[in-house]
Structures are given as C-alpha cells and as structure tokens.
DNA sequence: GCCCAGGGTTATA
DNA sequence: TATAACCATGGG
C-alpha cells in the first residue's frame, strides 16, 4: 500500500522548528546518504556530519533545511533558516511535502523487495532501505537530464555547478554558501552563448533554453503533466519536446514524476552496472537488457536506481 | 592520443 | 520502421 502525504499527521516541535517524520519501512538512512554523497562536486545539497543541508526556494522566500535520521525509523527535518517574516503552516507543509517527495516516502518498497529476480536480489540486499531519491522540481529534473546526455557524470556535475553558481539563487549561512537551482524565468532570458561560455554544447544550450521557455510560457509544468493521467501520456508529452528523447523522458518520469516503471533503457550507467553484476566481458545489448528486465516489471525505475549504486 | 560518457537529431535506406 | 552519421565537450 502506498503512503500518501498527509500534512495532518505531521509533528512539529517548537521552538526549533523541527519536524519528525515516521518513515515507512524498510528505510535506510545510510544508503541514501551514500547515494547523495556520490559526487564531491554536488552543488544543490551538502552532506555534513551525516545531516543533509538543502536550500529550498518557496515562492519568493528561501528555506534552508537540515535532514537526518539516527534510527531509520524517524526522519528529522530542521528548518535552519527561513528568509520570510513568519513560518506559516503553509510553508511548513511545503517543506514537509518536499522532503516526502525527495525521499519517495510515498512508495511502499515491500513489493519491490519481494520480486524474485536474481539481479534485484543482489542489489536490494546490498542497499537495503535505499529509496529512489527524487528531483521534485521539474525544471531541475529536465535540466539535469539534458546536462547528463552523452557526457560523463563528472563533467555533468561541473556543468551543473557552473549553471547553478552563475544563474541560481544562493544563501550565505554559517560560513557556507547554499545554492538553489535557477528558475526557468532566469534561464529563458538567456542567449545560447551565455551557456556555451560555460562549456555547454550548442545543443544543450538550445535544449535548456527551449525547456525554460516552455515553462515560462505555461506550456509545460509538473502539475500539467501529472494531470494528463497515465504515465504513457506523460512520456508522449515529454517526447514532443526538442532535446527530450526516450532516455531523458524516462529519467524525468523516474526522478520527478515518480513512475516506478519508468525505464531509461539507453542508460550507459545501467549497462555498465549490469555488465558488472553479471560479470560480462562487454556491455549487454539492448535486447539482452529487455530480457533481463522482464523480472523487474513495474519496478524498472527502482531497479535502475539500485543498479546505479553498484558503480557510483 | 584514444576511447568513453546517465543521448538526441537528422539523414538515409 | 530501422540503421547510420553527426554532434561537441571533458574525463581517464
């Protein structure tokens, strides 16, 4: 059974503005930290002393939050700083909802762990409690997908950092600078040269500006996509967008729109992970991968995410 | 210097 | 519908 977000059961503690979320089991904080720590070049959150710090844009205001868990039963969310005049219940709810989506607390992992597939068995045992960490913001998810097309992950992180630190929003706190992803408005106002200057290819610059413009013109939104009903329709909508192919569409379905069956089949990371866990000499063919994935039906996104952890 | 990287579009058959 | 060529850039 899924665990829908329910603001009425949220428990806030004063005066430190801390929220305790009883997380659905199984949940493992450590494997999630492991995923979030995979790049030392990440710019959109920081892991420090086993707490995750993240800057959230909420309307015109910013909230810096710290998340941690000591027992894998309760997730603590502390509002470190809020730029607005008062922490209304609406703001608190937005923050709680973001964390809920970010950690994919809606999903019940039990059926996934019950899948009888030899490959899944390996990775679910190795990363028990890992949840498919999301990218709740659609523009960020699509941008990160586009940035990651056909380049190695290290360079992708570098490009993202340049984009964020040039056009994003920041907050100084406790001697640290925290960054939030640029808004579509900011990116839509750029020229392709603004991005090629940061070593984006001409294509990536064009795609990013295109997506930003669709969003600022109201022709593309997370709410609008989710309202189309089924995931197949959402995928078709995404595929109509220039620069969004099958891999990126499924990446966005997986990390943002939360289709557990989204499957970025062309993902090189997935290919290399399968090569590794199966002890192959070469990367498996697409036909082989389709065959292997027959045992993952309904959970392809989670299978892919867990397999990524084998390599990085 | 070479192959590779969390692909997509366009041209061609 | 299916396959090939081209794209452009840094990492290792």
Question: Per residue in A123-159, pLDDT tens?
Answer: 999 999 999 999 999 999 999 999 999 999 999 999 9
Q: Are residues A177 and A28 in the same domain?
A: no
Asked if residue A75 and residue A17 are part of one domain, the reply reads yes
**Which residues are bridge partners to A212 per DSSP?**
none
> Cα separations (Å) of A64 from A7, A43, A125, A209, A255?
20, 14, 33, 28, 22
Give distance CA A150 / C1' B11 (Å).
Answer: 20
* A127 and A264 together in one domain: yes
Chain C positions within 7 A of any protein Cβ atom are: 7-12
Q: In the structure, how far is the CA atom of residue A199 from the C1' atom of nucleotide C9, in angstroms?
A: 7
User: Contact at 8 Å (CB) between A210 and A184?
Assistant: no
Q: Are residues A93 and A162 in the same domain?
A: no
Bridge partners (DSSP) listed for residue A47: A52
A202, closest nucleotide (Cα–C1'): C8
Q: Are residues A52 and A118 in the same domain?
A: no
Q: Does A151 contact strand C, using a CB cutoff of 7 Å? A: yes
A62 and A77, same domain (yes or no)? yes
| pLDDT > 80? residue A15 | no
Residue with tokens 């710290």: A66
Q: Is the CB of A150 under 7 A from strand C?
A: yes
On whether both A241 and A157 belong to a single domain, the answer is: yes
At residue A183, the pLDDT reads: 98
Give the pLDDT of residue A312: 82
Domain range for A28:
7-108
pLDDT of amino acid A201 = 96
pLDDT, position A9? 79
pLDDT > 80? residue A16: no
- Are A254 and A264 a contacting pair, CB within 8 Å? yes
**The pLDDT value given to residue A49:** 84
User: Phi/psi at A24 (nearest 5 deg)?
Assistant: -60, 140
Q: Are residues A198 and A272 in the same domain?
A: no
For residue A10, what pLDDT is reported?
86
Catalytic residues of A: 267
Give the mean pLDDT of A203-215. Answer: 98
- The distance (Å) linking the CA of A200 with the C1' of C6 is 17
Number of domains in chain A: 3
């Amino acid at each position: 059974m899924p665990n829908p977000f329910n603001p009425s059961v949220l428990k806030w503690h004063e005066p430190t503005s801390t929220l305790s979320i009883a997380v659905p089991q199984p949940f493992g904080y450590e494997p999630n930290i492991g995923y979030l720590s995979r790049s030392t070049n990440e710019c959109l959150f920081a892991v420090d002393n086993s707490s995750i710090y993240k800057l959230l844009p909420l309307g015109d205001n910013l909230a810096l939050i710290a998340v941690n868990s000591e027992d894998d039963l309760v997730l603590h969310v502390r509002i470190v700083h809020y730029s607005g005049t008062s922490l209304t219940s609406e703001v608190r709810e937005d923050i709680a909802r973001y964390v809920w989506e970010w950690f994919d607390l809606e999903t019940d992992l039990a059926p996934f762990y019950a899948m009888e597939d030899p490959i899944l068995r390996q990775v679910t045992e190795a990363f028990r409690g890992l949840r498919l960490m999301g990218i709740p913001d659609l523009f960020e998810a699509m941008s990160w997908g586009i940035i990651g097309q056909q380049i190695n992950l290290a360079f992708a992180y570098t490009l993202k950092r340049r984009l964020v630190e040039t056009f994003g929003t920041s907050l100084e706190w406790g001697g640290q600078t925290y960054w939030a992803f640029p808004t579509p408005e900011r990116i839509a106002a750029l020229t392709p040269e603004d991005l090629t200057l940061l070593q984006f290819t001409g294509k990536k610059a064009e795609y990013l500006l295109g997506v930003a413009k669709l969003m600022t013109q109201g022709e593309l939104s997370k709410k609008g996509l989710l309202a189309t009903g089924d995931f197949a329709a959402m995928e078709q909508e995404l595929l109509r967008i220039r620069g969004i192919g099958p891999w990126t569409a499924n990446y966005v379905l997986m990390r943002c729109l939360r289709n557990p069956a989204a499957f970025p089949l062309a993902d090189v990371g997935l290919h290399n992970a399968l090569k590794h866990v199966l002890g192959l000499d070469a990367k498996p063919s697409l036909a082989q991968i389709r065959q292997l994935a027959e045992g993952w039906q309904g959970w392809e996104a989670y299978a892919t995410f867990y397999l990524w952890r084998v390599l990085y």
